[in-house]
Structure 1
Amino acid sequence: MYEVQSVPAVLLSESRPSRLLWRLIEASPVAVAASSQDGKILYVNQKLADLFDYEVNELIGQEIEILMPERYRADHRMYRAVFTENPRTRPMGSGLDLVGRRRDGSEFPIEVGLSYYRSPNGLIILSAVTDITRRKQTEELLERRVEERTREIERRRRVADSLRDILRALNSNRPLQEILDLIVAQARELLHADASAIYQLHDEEKPLRFQAGVGIVPEHFSVVYDGEGVDLTALQRREQSGDLREIILNHSESATPLFYAGDGAYCAQLAVPLKLKDEIYGGLMLYYREPRRFSPEEIELAVMFGDQAALAIDNARLRIQAERAAVAAERNRIARDLHDSVTQTLFSASLIAEVLPRLIQRQPEESMRRLEELRQLTRGALAEMRTLLLELRPATLMEVSIEELLRQLTEAARGRARIPIELRIVSDGEPPSEVKVACYYVAQEALNNVAKHARAQSAEVSLICSAEQARLCVYDDGQGFDLKAVTPEHMGLAIMRERAESIGATLIIDSAPNAGTSVTLLWSKTDTSSI
């Protein structure tokens, strides 16, 4: 066994090459310790002494466990005994996270490489120690950055998913209230708010109107803004002055609650104005129970949700305007139809009725012909009125049978065109409602063309239908037209094609000058099953 002795004594007791070796170890930039198999420190270089904040002589003869925390010493003694029985080299970087203990008790991460030498006096264990504090700090920094980056990627993914959901809702026919509920819910979740709401600027008596909210109800909302939760006059002043920059209300300096609502106190809030062109419509509000500051990314995200809410409101306004315009256009069309058909038909009927009394006495045969013409005119006017009533109530078109719909159209067209129009229907079942409505409108446009443009002597409407297929044909023997010379906008051709495409049907128009015209609609359920 080695006798514990000072470093000079060790150097003097060894041969000259050994002394050279010890001097090289002493000058090494790596902290090195040599210990006996019973754990006594035989030698340390100055680098190791400095690393652990000891003097060299203070460590000689001490147990090697003095260089590690108390909690690890018992386990290390057991490990040292096992190593002594079966020594082996353990290089640096073996993956073991070890902890060193300085003289003052402070701890720091180390990495230890082990080797051994069998001397005549027993086993000598050599330990090379490296302080890996900086490496550990770098690793921890990298881990934090990876975690932050991962969280940021996840946040961006959730934002993208949220935007996708909102855009899908904006492009649908969902009600405005449903879309606003979705936006405030997504804003609350992604901005980690305790409550969120959308309000509309109203009048002076009640300046705000609650539109949507999550975590807060209208009663709480009115309590908030009856107090001093937000300066509404700022929004109104900005609107009047035309300064429509984003207004962000950020209260986060103090833990003193800004306001109380329901059973909670709120210490921070974030407000984003909802701008529609040159008008401030209202605002998107986010409420927080804890005081906080808002990062630029959070403010940008809140503004984005505000833009989506403004877009939803603007779309709803445009939809209402479009619906009103469509109603007005439909009223104008009905008025034109009344003027072009019913009014003129009734005017012709009134003229015939005025001359009938005189014709009966002078020309009985002519009076009978006129009387039949009067009957046709009145029946046509009645059918025309029924048709217009059906169109005023679109749901009725779904309920009435296809035979009755075509019969009304045919009678109305007879009255307007004053020509015989034959109706033939072979039905083996009622086609789907959307097919029935498409057939109705195609037949209507085709018969309008017969009455206005064909100059025909006769016409025919035929329908062969079942639940699986339908074939509608409107034919007249009139003057016809050149298909290449007529644009789709003329004669209702575009309308008929749109109706056909809406049900996946085929529209065939066959016409030539002085050769009549046929309009054929072909529909089959098997052809539309994939649509």
Structure 2
Amino acid sequence: MLRKLSSTRYMYIRSHLYAVFLTTILLLSMLLSIHVLFAPDWLSAGGIVAFTLFYVLFGIVISFYAGFKSGGSMKERLDDMSVLITKFANGHYDARVYFQERDEITRISNEMNELGEKLESQVASLKRMADEKADYAKSAHKAAAMEERQRLARDLHDAVSQQLFALTMMSEAAVRQIDQQPEEARTQIREVANTALKTQTEMRALLLHLRPVHLSGEPLSSGIRKLIGELEQKTQLTFTVHMADDLKLSETIEEHLFRITQEALSNILRHAEASHVKLDMVTRPNELFLHIRDDGRGFDAQERTDRKTSYGLKTMKERTEELGGTFTVRSVRGEGTYIDIRIPC
């Protein structure tokens, strides 16, 4: 009930009643002043009371009629604007409202119509940008997949294909010499075995790159331990791992760290000729620290003449910088390689 009395119509009625009240007070004051000062015969106390009562009665009736009449039109226009706002809120930006009057409400309605046009234009722009973004994402995914395929094909051609060709040549030479020069044939067979081992290592490293990029919902620690477990079964490498199982990291950080670790282990497998690898992943105040160390042959970190090794280090550095971290590599020939990664968190 109170809410209804505060509506637009009753606001107009209250304003009219207030005008009647003020006018009544003013007339009553004037009539009483004339009666006291001049005491005319035509103006008596009873006449003043009767006139005031009739004036108040008719004023109340006219106030209600005028309030409902004028307030009704105002209420309809405000209701139309309320419906327009509701349509905007529900995404119907093509809705419009028009009034014939030339007042403030008409001006506000015109401004809201312009707002609807702008919102409709912005929604169309956002849809167009979303479509363009989806197209760009597809193009980037295809380009990345093509680049990875080309790199793997190049690595297969540069390493595995050449080693298989060398195996073929050495095997044929050993077969020809096995009767006449058995010692040289034996030497050739040993070289065949060593080359086959290197080829197998190279293939395992390439297969390591072909693992799924995503952790498939696994925690980072589980994914890395599973990766290391497979390498321990298939290679001669031994691992020492210190890593907490309750690391609370975002999905993006976990995916990047998994790929960085995968790339580092692939480089060790292909180039380091190491026997032992140490991996530490710990959380420190405001940062995550990842340390990977091997006891392999090492390389000159300043020269980085090995193109494949440089590519792997560049990839790890780029992924680290995408997370806002720092990437440091130290290597000495004959003493192994150290990789330190710090990620703010």
1:478 Cα offset (Å): 0.8
Matches of 1:422 and 1:465 in 2, distance apart?
17
1:402 Cα offset (Å): 0.9
Tell me, yes or no, if the aligned pair for 1:421 and 1:460 is still in contact at 8 Å.
yes
Residues 436, 404 of structure 1: alpha-carbon distance in 2 compared, 3 angstrom cutoff: farther
- Structure with greater strand percent: 1
1:498 alignment partner in structure 2: 321
What is the CA deviation profile of residues 151-200 of structure 1, one whole-angstrom value per residue up to 9, with x for unaligned ones? 9xxx9xxxxxxxxxxxxxxxxxxxxxxxxxxxxxxxx96534499777xx
Tell me, yes or no, if the aligned pair for 1:197 and 1:286 is still in contact at 8 Å.
no
Matches of 1:300 and 1:521 in 2, distance apart?
54
Residue 286 (1) aligns with residue 286 (2) = no
1:31 alignment partner in structure 2: 30
1:421 Cα offset (Å): 6.7
Tell me, yes or no, if the aligned pair for 2:327 and 2:339 is still in contact at 8 Å.
yes
Tell me, yes or no, if the aligned pair for 1:510 and 1:519 is still in contact at 8 Å.
yes
2:118 alignment partner in structure 1: 304
1:358 alignment partner in structure 2: 173
Counterpart of 1:491, as a letter, is K
Counterpart of 1:347, as a letter, is S
Tell me, yes or no, if the aligned pair for 1:481 and 1:511 is still in contact at 8 Å.
no
1:59 alignment partner in structure 2: 43
Residues 396, 446 of structure 1: alpha-carbon distance in 2 compared, 3 angstrom cutoff: same
1:519 alignment partner in structure 2: 339
Higher relative CO (Cα under 8 Å, sequence separation at least 6) belongs to 2
Matches of 1:441 and 1:335 in 2, distance apart?
17
Counterpart of 1:480, as a letter, is A
Alignment of 1:198-347 (within 5 A): 284-286=93-95, 295-347=109-161
How well do the aligned residues superpose, as a CA RMSD in angstroms?
5.0
Matches of 1:405 and 1:465 in 2, distance apart?
15
Matches of 2:88 and 2:133 in 1, distance apart?
33
Tell me, yes or no, if the aligned pair for 1:384 and 1:409 is still in contact at 8 Å.
no
| Residue 437 of structure 1, aligned match among 233, 240, 255 | 255
Residues 366, 432 of structure 1: alpha-carbon distance in 2 compared, 3 angstrom cutoff: farther
Tell me, yes or no, if the aligned pair for 1:386 and 1:408 is still in contact at 8 Å.
no
Residue 191 (1) aligns with residue 10 (2) = no
Q: Secondary structure in 2 aligned to 1:191? A: helix
1:318 Cα offset (Å): 2.5
Matches of 2:338 and 2:211 in 1, distance apart?
28
Matches of 1:332 and 1:398 in 2, distance apart?
27
Counterpart of 1:357, as a letter, is E
Matches of 1:431 and 1:371 in 2, distance apart?
43
1:405 Cα offset (Å): 2.4
Residue 463 (1) aligns with residue 305 (2) = no
What is the CA deviation profile of residues 77-126 of structure 1, one whole-angstrom value per residue up to 9, with x for unaligned ones? xxxxxxxxxxxxxxxxxxxxxxx66xxx9649xxxxxxxxxxxxxxxxxx
Counterpart of 2:338, as a letter, is S
Residues 432, 329 of structure 1: alpha-carbon distance in 2 compared, 3 angstrom cutoff: farther
Alignment of 1:4-15 (within 5 A): none
User: For structure 1, which runs of at least 5 residues remain unmatched after alignment?
Assistant: 1-29, 36-40, 46-55, 71-99, 109-139, 156-187, 199-283, 415-419, 484-489
User: For structure 2, which runs of at least 5 residues remain unmatched after alignment?
Assistant: 1-28, 61-66, 101-105, 179-183, 305-312
1:31 Cα offset (Å): 3.5
Counterpart of 1:363, as a letter, is A
Matches of 2:319 and 2:232 in 1, distance apart?
17
1:43 Cα offset (Å): 4.2
Counterpart of 1:191, as a letter, is I
Residues 331, 390 of structure 1: alpha-carbon distance in 2 compared, 3 angstrom cutoff: same
Structure having the higher Rg = 1
| Residue 479 of structure 1, aligned match among 300, 313, 325 | 300
Count of aligned pairs: 269
Q: Secondary structure in 1 aligned to 2:95? A: strand
1:314 Cα offset (Å): 2.0
1:369 Cα offset (Å): 3.1
Residue 424 (1) aligns with residue 245 (2) = no
Counterpart of 1:495, as a letter, is E
User: Identity, % of aligned pairs?
Assistant: 12
Residues 347, 194 of structure 1: alpha-carbon distance in 2 compared, 3 angstrom cutoff: closer
Tell me, yes or no, if the aligned pair for 1:380 and 1:411 is still in contact at 8 Å.
no
Residues 389, 427 of structure 1: alpha-carbon distance in 2 compared, 3 angstrom cutoff: closer
1:42 Cα offset (Å): 4.6
What is the CA deviation profile of residues 417-437 of structure 1, one whole-angstrom value per residue up to 9, with x for unaligned ones? xxx976433456475684653
Tell me, yes or no, if the aligned pair for 1:509 and 1:520 is still in contact at 8 Å.
yes
Residues 43, 67 of structure 1: alpha-carbon distance in 2 compared, 3 angstrom cutoff: farther
| Residue 372 of structure 1, aligned match among 194, 197, 200 | 194
What TM-score, normalized by structure 2, do the two folds share? Answer: 0.57
